[in-house]
Amino acid sequence: MTAAASAWWILFFPLAAFLLIPLIPEKKRTLGGWLACAGMFCAFALTVKIAWPIFEGQPFHSFHASIEWILIPNLQLEFGVLIDSLSVLMLLVVTGVGSAIFYYSLEYMAQDEGYRRYFAGLSLFAFSMIGIVISANLLQLFIFWELVGLSSYLLIGHWYQKNEAADAGKKAFLTNRVGDFGFLIGILLLWTFSGAEAARSLNFLNLNVTIPAFAQASASHGIWITLAMLLVFSGVLGKSAQFPLHVWLPDAMEGPTPVSALIHAATMVAAGVYLLARTFPLFSLSPAALEIVAYLGGFTAIFAATQAIVQNDIKRILAYSTLSQLGYMVMAIGLGSAAIGMYHLTTHAFFKALLFLGAGSVIHATHEQDIWNMGGLAKKMPVTSVTFFIASFALVGFWPASGFFSKDEILSLAFLENKFLFWVAAFTVFLTALYMSRLIVVAFLGTSKIRKKLHEPTQKMLLPLAALAVLSLIGGFLGIQNILSPASHSSHETPVFVVALATAFGILGVLAAWFFYRSSRKIQNRFQTAFAPIREILVRKYYMDDLYDLLLRYIQQPFAQFLSWFERKVIVEGLVNHTAAFAAFSGFCLRKLQTGRIQTYLSVFFFGVVILVYCFTIANLHP
């Protein structure tokens, strides 16, 4: 099998699983789960095969293959695969972490009513996500981009009978649509810039040549490039849940926990970061656009981290943490290094998926999501707890866990490029340590508030936990950062100051949480009343949800009602019915002309004669 063929097969294995699962009868439902797993494992195996040269330390030869899809004069759209080191890295993350989560789901969803629907949705997601990664052109990427939105909608709304889940799915899809509105216009702009009318193409390899040429053609083109790239970035805002389109991600936690792990932590939300990395050659043409990207990323990082501190739902804490970490990645790319952003994406995929799977394991055993109702889990579920601790360790960024290395790269990049963002990012480390330690102290340590006996799950759930724990721990030593930028890595040394500061902030956060949440209830209460206004703002999520609600309720809905009213009253009753009434009225008048009564006709005739006689005789006598 050629490399291009294996790339196609990576895409088609999950698709085949998606198509076959609905055909399986309900009685043999476990077969559906295994089918989905098989599709994912095969995709992973093929990815490893393609990536083998990288593991052997050889340089990777990228390749590109495509077939015609739409062929109209002046518009040629292709369907293709573009496999370079960037897509290989992302494929490894998607299929690798995906395999672990698929396998985990076998047990987690075993009792669920919609078991086959779940695995069909998961396979559809895998298909679309792999599609994003291997896309060779921007429109193809947009197609799969929309399809992951669909699968995310279906999986968030998996328990569609729950109102919250049904609403959350809708919200996620529509928020993404708003971002994609800009994205599509950005694509159209780039298409216009990509050359003469007949030679336009949206292929990445082509854009990387034509758009710089366009930018150099005239000084005034810079503003257009900036506009186009910011529009593309609006798609990233939606998919990677950056401020101000972040509101859907916390609500998306209504979906099953493995879905949150795979889609809303490790892969789909990272697709925006992948898009930034993929179009980085274009973004780098516009320093203004990159700067906005960096500031929005940095802002989202600290903005989300503050909200994570006051959440009580274990999954929502992790969701805000995801927002914050995505902010780091976006910021890294905005600061000028796609490789570092992708590095953090990879390690984040390991430890955040692990955190969610650990939370899933807890939820599976306790049927409880509020951390204040848990407590003392460490003793009852030791394996889950240990993996959870490792992941938290990596998330905060302590040596030697994987997060330490990727976060340090980001921090030292910020230190060199933009001091303000560096301090924002460093302070976010403190917040991260704070909210994760709070979660661990409250839920895993202390005395248990759960009466019933708890069990660790079976190997189907523990094995993925263990595998991801190993990756989270040693991910920094695997040379992931060398896949994308073998040369540039050694170009700048990590300043010792940065490492020391980040670690200090981390330890400070842990200590703060430790002393505060282990202290007596009285101190906690006093503290909380002292900071009640701030707490209120954080609990209400900076009123962002309320703001959007207001917009929808007081602007969109009245506008729709007004148009509906306009339609009923003005167009139908006013114009149409009055036209009809006018027709009826003229008919009423004209009807008098034909009454059928001989007297009427005679009198009209008589008057007519009188008028005619007058005209011809009397009027003519006196001209």
Site residues, another protein (CB under 8 A): 68-75, 139, 142-144, 146-147, 150, 153, 157, 160-163, 166-167, 170, 173-174, 177-178, 181, 184-185, 188, 191-192, 556-557, 559-561, 563-564, 567, 571-572, 575-576, 580
Is 147 or 247 the residue whose CB approaches another protein more closely? 147
- In angstroms, what CA-CA distances link 401 with 389, 392, 541? 11, 10, 31
Least distance in angstroms from the C-beta of 169 to another protein: 8
Peptide bond just before 464 cis, omega within 30 deg: no
Pick the closest to residue 257 from 305, 319, 167, 308 (CA basis). 319
- Token pair belonging to 294: 């960096």
Least distance in angstroms from the C-beta of 177 to another protein: 5
Least distance in angstroms from the C-beta of 218 to another protein: 19
- Token pair belonging to 491: 């170009």
Contact of 97 with 262, CB cutoff 8 Å: yes
Quick one: residue 81, left, alpha or beta (phi over 0 = left, psi -120 to 50 = alpha)? beta
Is 198 or 496 the residue whose CB approaches another protein more closely? 198
Is 192 or 603 the residue whose CB approaches another protein more closely? 192
Is 588 or 616 the residue whose CB approaches another protein more closely? 588
Is 128 or 385 the residue whose CB approaches another protein more closely? 128
Least distance in angstroms from the C-beta of 303 to another protein: 25
Is 534 or 575 the residue whose CB approaches another protein more closely? 575
DSSP state of 58: P
Least distance in angstroms from the C-beta of 187 to another protein: 9
Least distance in angstroms from the C-beta of 587 to another protein: 13
Long-range contacts of 576-585 (CB under 8 A, 24+ apart): none
Give the integer Cα–Cα distance in Å for 111 and 255.
16
Backbone torsions φ then ψ of 489, nearest 5 degrees? -60, -40
Least distance in angstroms from the C-beta of 37 to another protein: 24
Is 191 or 389 the residue whose CB approaches another protein more closely? 191
* H helix intervals, 475-541: 480-484, 496-518, 521-530, 532-539
Is 420 or 559 the residue whose CB approaches another protein more closely? 559
Quick one: residue 203, left, alpha or beta (phi over 0 = left, psi -120 to 50 = alpha)? beta
Distance from the Cα of residue 289 to its chain's centroid:
20
Is 69 or 389 the residue whose CB approaches another protein more closely? 69
Give the integer Cα–Cα distance in Å for 97 and 104.
11
SS3 content of the chain, % helix, strand, coil (to 5): 80, 5, 15
Give the integer Cα–Cα distance in Å for 308 and 432.
8
Least distance in angstroms from the C-beta of 167 to another protein: 7
Least distance in angstroms from the C-beta of 565 to another protein: 8
Q: How many CB atoms lie within 10 A of CB 544?
A: 16
Write the burial class of residue 222 (CB in 10 Å: 0-12 exposed, 13-18 middle, 19+ buried). Answer: middle
Is 38 or 178 the residue whose CB approaches another protein more closely? 178
Is 199 or 580 the residue whose CB approaches another protein more closely? 580
Q: What is the DSSP string of 432-451?
A: HHHHHHHHIIIIISS-----
Element spanning 71, H or E: strand 63-72
Give the integer Cα–Cα distance in Å for 156 and 111.
18
Least distance in angstroms from the C-beta of 144 to another protein: 8
Least distance in angstroms from the C-beta of 544 to another protein: 19
Is 576 or 602 the residue whose CB approaches another protein more closely? 576
Long-range contacts of 3-6 (CB under 8 A, 24+ apart): 3/50, 3/63, 3/83, 4/63, 4/65, 4/81, 4/83, 6/46, 6/49, 6/50
Least distance in angstroms from the C-beta of 87 to another protein: 20
Write the burial class of residue 562 (CB in 10 Å: 0-12 exposed, 13-18 middle, 19+ buried). Answer: exposed
Least distance in angstroms from the C-beta of 55 to another protein: 34
Give the integer Cα–Cα distance in Å for 80 and 70.
12
Is 523 or 576 the residue whose CB approaches another protein more closely? 576
Element spanning 72, H or E: strand 63-72
